[in-house]
Amino acid sequence: MSRWGRTTHEQALIESFDAATARNPRWASLAAETRNRLMEGGFYSKDIVDAAFTKWRGRAEVSLVDAFGFMLVWEHYLRGEIGACTIPVGTTPGPDRDVEGNSAKLKGLPPLFRAEFIPQSGGSAEDDGRFKWVREVGVWRKWLLPDDSEREEAWWVEPGHALPLEVGTTSVSKTLFHLRGRGGVARWPYDRDRLILLVSHPSLHERLSLL
């Protein structure tokens, strides 16, 4: 936790937003435009929005920092730096405290996948569990082309280390932390009967290393 009671990744995103708007005030208006689109719904892929962040039961407003963070996730997505797919679970998640119930529900995943729900002792930086696959899995990468058309292709990802599993609500700063530092994230939002898997492509880390 930072001395303001925020996690390290939350504080890092705030500082990144402040630095961007200090360099070019246009970032603030772009964040406001993105926030409006997120609040209205329908402009962005719902899967990517729900994977990036979910407020508590939709009650809290999207902040400019949230919108800025989503812009970064969306940029990764439209650069082909994230592979995405949805995976059926067959039911929606229960509260985080229902470890036994959520663990039982995750047994409904297709046999290719394994997920473990882990009880937490507290602390917003902790993950809800781990997610992995036992054979290669196909995810989709997308590119936005100069003429505003899109190109999409399958990327087959070999099994490897387990990714963090985030159930229910999560922050966009945590999603960025997972994408940029932990290889991706598996999201199981409230009111969704599917997991949304985001896997970081090597090109994401290659570009970030040049910035």
Closest of 77, 98, 103 to residue 196, by C-alpha? 77
Q: How many percent of the chain have pLDDT more than 70?
A: 91
Q: How many percent of the chain have pLDDT more than 90?
A: 76
Separation between Cα atoms, residue 66 and residue 35, nearest integer Å? 8
- What's the pLDDT at 57? 57
Task: Please state whether the predicted TM-score (pTM) of the whole model is above 0.85.
Answer: yes
Rounded to an integer, the average pLDDT of 119-146 is: 83
Q: Which residue has the higher pLDDT, 1 or 146?
A: 146
The CA-atom distances, in angstroms, between 132 and each of 30, 174, 183, 200 are 36, 19, 12, 14
- What's the pLDDT at 124? 44
- What's the pLDDT at 107? 93
Rounded to an integer, the average pLDDT of 111-118 is: 92
pLDDT of 1 over the 90 cut: no
Q: Which residue has the higher pLDDT, 124 or 81?
A: 81
pLDDT per residue as tens digits for the range 34-45: 999 999 999 999
Strands 150-157, 163-167: parallel, antiparallel or unpaired by DSSP? unpaired
- What's the pLDDT at 88? 97
- Residue 50 has a CB neighbour count (10 Å cut-off) of 19
pLDDT of 120 over the 70 cut: no
Give the mean pLDDT of the chain.
90
Q: Which residue has the higher pLDDT, 14 or 123?
A: 14
- pLDDT-wise least confident of 111-115, 167-171, 194-198, 207-211: 207-211
Separation between Cα atoms, residue 19 and residue 34, nearest integer Å? 18
Written in H, E and C, the secondary structure of 136-165 is CEEEEEEEECCCCCEEEEEEEECCCCCEEE
Rounded to an integer, the average pLDDT of 62-78 is: 96
Separation between Cα atoms, residue 127 and residue 168, nearest integer Å? 11
* 172: confidence class by pLDDT, cuts 50, 70, 90: very high
- For the chain, strand residue ranges (E) read 82-88, 113-117, 129-133, 137-144, 150-157, 163-167, 184-188, 194-200
Separation between Cα atoms, residue 93 and residue 79, nearest integer Å? 31
Rounded to an integer, the average pLDDT of 27-40 is: 96
Contact between residue 44 and residue 75 where contact means Cβ atoms under 8 Å apart: no
